[in-house]
Chain A
Amino acid sequence: MIGGAAPVWAAPVWAVPVWGLVQLADPQQPPGPAAFFSFLDVSLVYTVVKLLIVFTVYMVGVALLTLAERKVSAWIQDRLGPNRVLKGWGQPLADGIKNFMKEESLPAAVNRPLFLLAPAMAFVPALVTWAVIPFGAPLPLPWGRMDLVLADLPIGYLFIVALSSLGVYGIVLAGWSSNNKYALLGGLRSSAQMISYEIALGMSIIPVLILSGDVTLGTIVQQQARGVWNALSLSVACLIFLIAAFAETNRLPFDLPEAESELIAGYHTEYSAMKFSLFFIAEYANMVTASALIVTLFFGGWTVPFWAAVNQPPWAWWKTVITLGAFLAKVLFFLFFYMWIRWTLPRFRYDQLMSLGWKVLLPTALAYIVIVAGATLGLDALGVRRGVGYGLCLFGLNVVLLLIVFFLVDRGRIVSPASARVRSAELTRLRAVRARSALAAGTGE
């Protein structure tokens, strides 16, 4: 936040465009470069250092994730996966070099400025969202305490929602500017999908805000450290957030914008070489950010469960190391979860996608807000103190709610087998048909 101490109306109107000239002309400004560069204090240096480290780790991590995705898919499908360049570990590097060396194709009929802008617009929101996520305990240094978050904004959660709503632009513009009907269909699908699920996403976090009483992510993490993880005390919200986050990152089972079997490659059909690669990187960057968000909002962030000493001051370097490790472990689990889901579930049909978003997730999230608000009001009135007991009371409520939600969403499909919904005479007939067809095919069971 740049300065409350500097009301803008105090600055003369002409003191704007060129720094040097302005400094000569502005009587309020003390002379000399030292005054001009007075904003270069230690917190700025800290920020620059953190930026460099986080950006490097983030990009290397994203590169390694492409390898991890292929290894996990290979493991799930019982094959080897990449094992050539440095036994597979050099594969991201090889892919990167390949993408730089490839020919950049620029189709004649594209809208050139938007075609070039779209990959960047897909990537930037995912990267910038990371700025408000706290990823470790504060680190005490000789020059002062270093908070392990890039920008602890007072509007933390709203910043995330605002930026995640911009992620759709890259995909929509790529689809439209390509001047290709499959790309356009992909772009249209993604804009409808992301708008629909954004609402459920935003609504599912409101119970978290009710419990924490503030929108900054640091407060949310601390509140979970004092009580129990929000994943327990607000399980239904966690479930909705998880589903909506999958849809927001366009990962299977919600990858309709690039559904290969229907749309060639969807919105990035016309892209080649590094521009395609940037969409690829953006997908993984989005996954990392979404995983970090799930961890921060519902799984205690960087705090370590059952070890209160690590999560509290006085801070020490070893606490920072341990909490960083805890955060990394949690994020890695959810990244694995993303891949696990991708190689397990098939893609939704478009109408199923829409009805899930609007008819199931949104009403559930709305009802849940009312229930949680009522429950907190009731618990406060009963005099239950905020803490572990409070969270466990809510957890009990959530178990009941989850059972009801599963029963309603399931509509007797998973909990009870399909055969339970057919009359017994019909079942006997169907079984006979199946036995006959198996005999006819010569593959009797």
Chain B
Amino acid sequence: MYPLFYSFCFYLFGLIAIASALAFVTRRSPVAAALWLVNVLFCLAALYVMLDAPFIAAVQVLVYAGAIMVVFLFVVMLLNLGLPGELADARGLLAKILAGLAGIVLLAKIMSSRTAVPIESLMLRPDSLATVARIQGAVAPVAQPLFTEYLIAFEVTSILLLVAAVGAVLIGRRRAAAVEGVGAG
């Protein structure tokens, strides 16, 4: 319809996402870093909308920005993790060099695969998503394969998440019990 305005917005969101991602990894305060990450997620959601995937965009905001990052902020605030020194994962010169090398390798890999052609069966015709969305609405194109073709994978994933949740509760309870035992003794 209006390609110029469209591509302007698309690359604008892309640039904001990259800038926010850089801010996210360079901030020392965990709260500021978390908020920059929320900004990245938002920009990605905007890009999804522009690529005719509004459902993915909504789920992105709902799950990542609305739930996971809020829980993350909650923990950061509750434990008052304000001191960056204690939080840094990469300690020492060697660790930093290794991490930097790994980053460069990853970047090189991504750059080299940019020219590679995706598998034919995974490619969609241009506009096919919009056509499907017009006929089926925004949710059905995702829901249909999810609950028919990939049902087993979907259910197994949910069990995996359940196991993770139960495991977290178990570990938490054991620690609490140990602390209580120390207090009583």
Contacts and interface: CB of A to CB of B under 8 A. Distances in A.
Of the listed residues A36, A158, A168, A215, the one surrounded by the most CB atoms of chain B closer than 10 A to its CB is: A158
A358 to B, nearest CB: 13
A214 interface: yes
Contacts of A8: 6-7, 10, 50-51
B182 to A, nearest CB: 25
B138 A154 contact: yes
Contacts of B10: 8, 11
Interface in A1-60: 1-8, 10-11, 13, 15-17, 19, 22-23, 26, 28-29, 36, 38-39
Interface stretch (A61-69, A142-150, A186-194, A317-325): A186-194
Interface string B43-59: 00000011110110111
A6 B7 contact: yes
B8 A16 contact: yes
Summarize A's interface: helix, strand, loop or mixed: helix
Contact of B1 (A5, A161, A169): A5
Interface of B is mostly: helix
A6 B6 contact: yes
Contacts of A17: 8, 11-12
Interface in B53-85: 54-55, 57-59, 61-62, 65-67, 70-71, 73-74, 77-78
A154 B137 contact: yes
A154 B4 contact: no
A172 B74 contact: yes
Interface string B106-125: 00000000000000000000
Given A165-B67, A166-B66, 17 more contacts: A4-B130, A6-B1, A7-B127, A8-B6, A15-B4, A36-B4, A153-B54, A155-B54, A155-B138, A158-B58, A159-B58, A162-B65, A163-B61, A165-B65, A172-B73, A191-B70, A198-B66
Q: 8 closest A-B pairs (Cβ-Cβ)?
A: A165-B66, A4-B130, A11-B7, A154-B138, A158-B58, A16-B11, A6-B3, A162-B61
Interface of B: 1-12, 31-32, 35, 38, 49-52, 54-55, 57-59, 61-62, 65-67, 70-71, 73-74, 77-78, 126-127, 129-131, 133, 137-139
Interface of A: 1-8, 10-11, 13, 15-17, 19, 22-23, 26, 28-29, 36, 38-39, 111, 114, 153-155, 158-159, 161-166, 168-169, 172-173, 175-176, 184, 187-188, 191-192, 194-195, 198, 214-216
